[in-house]
């Protein structure tokens, strides 16, 4: 058997996640985050997506492009385990894999055919902007839902049960940028922040730090305490 198999991207995704930090670690946790898949030549044919509009959800197979060339290890430290306990890479969803391939189900919102271009609008994706897509498949509920499936180490969603508050300047900026971007920005920010993107070793550290995430073209600054998540600033990203 040939030991080398080459894949060519069939599409790229345009998403609001401009850096790895802040991306929810699983799909569907930030359901209000929309993204657009752009099919690439020669796959940008209306025939290639014929019938796909009948799906409510689709599978995306993609490359963890930010991890290519960075190697892999048979043991990883999943954030869910606190960043200290090790787990086999094949028992994890770490992007640092023997082959850096990811798999995510997303909600299919619509398909747009514009002259020679084909776009697929989706929501709930957990993909970095410009991630290459190597395949798209329909989500089949009768086959893909496994009602008695379990994984003891990750039996339920882990999110923060805290209110999200905004400083006065952040509240003004939130309203302005929501209108400008035509996005449900408050819902998006809160879904992302309540997934707690902090490094695992910060979560039990009493020292309060300010963090920043890049969302769309914005830099969002925030802190977490025992009682709230506070967004202190929302401004145009200058990086």
Indicate if the pLDDT at residue 42 is higher than 80. Answer: yes
CATH of the domain at 218: 3.30.2310.20
Of 185, 187, 197, give the one whose Cα is nearest residue 222. 197
Residues 138 and 174 reside in one and the same domain? no
Examine the pLDDT at 68 and tell me if it is beyond 70: yes
CB 126 within 8 A of CB 40: no
Residue 205 clears pLDDT 80, i.e. is over it? no
Residue that finishes a domain, picked among 144, 173, 198: 144
183: domain range? 164-236
The answer to whether position 153 is within a domain reads no
Number of domain units in the chain = 2
pLDDT at 1 over 80: no
Mean pLDDT of 107-136: 97
Tell me, yes or no, whether 26 and 72 share the same domain.
yes
* Spatial CB neighbours of 107, under 8 Å, sequence gap ≥ 6: 31, 56, 57, 122, 123, 124
Task: Assess whether 130 and 177 both reside in one domain.
Answer: no
Mean pLDDT of 161-175: 97
Residue 88 has pLDDT above 90, yes or no: yes
Confidence at 136, pLDDT banded by 50, 70, 90? very high
Residue 159 lies in a domain: no
pLDDT of amino acid 184: 97
pLDDT tens digits, one per residue of 7-27: 899 999 999 999 999 999 899
Give the pLDDT of residue 206: 60
Query: pLDDT: is 4 or 60 the higher one?
Result: 60
Let me know if residue 152 belongs to a domain. Answer: no
Are 119 and 169 within one domain?
no
Provide the 3-class DSSP secondary structure of residue 1.
Answer: coil
Domain boundary among 144, 175, 194: 144
- 132 and 49 in a single domain? The answer is yes
Task: Report the pLDDT averaged over residues 119-143.
Answer: 97
In a domain, 61, yes or no: yes
Residue 123 has pLDDT above 70, yes or no: yes
Mean pLDDT of 29-35: 96
Are 125 and 169 contained in the same domain?
Answer: no
The Cα-based distances of 133 to 17, 102, 110 in angstroms read: 16, 9, 17
- Beta pairing, strands 210-215 & 218-224: antiparallel
Do 119 and 172 have their domain in common? no
- Are residue 19 and residue 79 in the same domain, yes or no? yes
Q: What is the mean pLDDT of the chain?
A: 92
Q: What is the CATH number of the domain that holds 21?
A: 2.40.30.70
User: Is 156 or 35 the better-scoring residue by pLDDT?
Assistant: 35
Q: Is the pLDDT assigned to residue 71 strictly greater than 90?
A: no
The pLDDT of residue 59? 98
Q: Tell me, yes or no, whether 33 lies in a domain.
A: yes
């Amino acid at each position: 058997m040939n030991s080398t198999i080459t894949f060519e991207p069939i599409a790229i995704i345009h998403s609001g996640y401009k850096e790895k930090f802040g991306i929810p670690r699983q799909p569907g946790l930030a359901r209000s985050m929309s993204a657009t898949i752009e099919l690439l030549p020669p796959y940008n044919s209306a025939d290639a997506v014929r019938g796909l509009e009948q799906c409510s959800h689709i599978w995306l197979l993609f490359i963890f492009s930010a991890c290519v060339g960075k190697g892999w290890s048979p043991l990883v430290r999943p954030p869910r385990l606190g960043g200290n306990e090790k787990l086999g890479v094949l028992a994890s969803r770490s992007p640092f894999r023997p082959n850096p391939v990811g798999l995510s189900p997303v909600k299919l919102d619509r398909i747009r055919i514009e002259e020679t271009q084909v776009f697929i609008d989706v929501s709930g994706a957990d993909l970095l902007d410009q991630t290459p897509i190597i395949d798209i498949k329909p989500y089949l509920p009768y086959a893909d839902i496994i009602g008695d499936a379990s994984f003891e180490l990750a039996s339920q969603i882990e999110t923060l049960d805290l209110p999200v508050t905004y400083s006065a300047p952040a509240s003004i900026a939130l309203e302005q940028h929501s209108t400008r971007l035509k996005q449900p920005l408050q819902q998006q920010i809160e879904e992302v922040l309540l997934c707690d993107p902090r490094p695992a070793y910060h979560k039990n550290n009493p020292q309060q730090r300010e963090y920043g995430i890049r969302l769309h073209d914005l830099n969002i600054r925030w802190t977490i305490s025992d009682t709230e998540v506070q967004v202190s600033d929302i401004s145009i990203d200058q990086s």
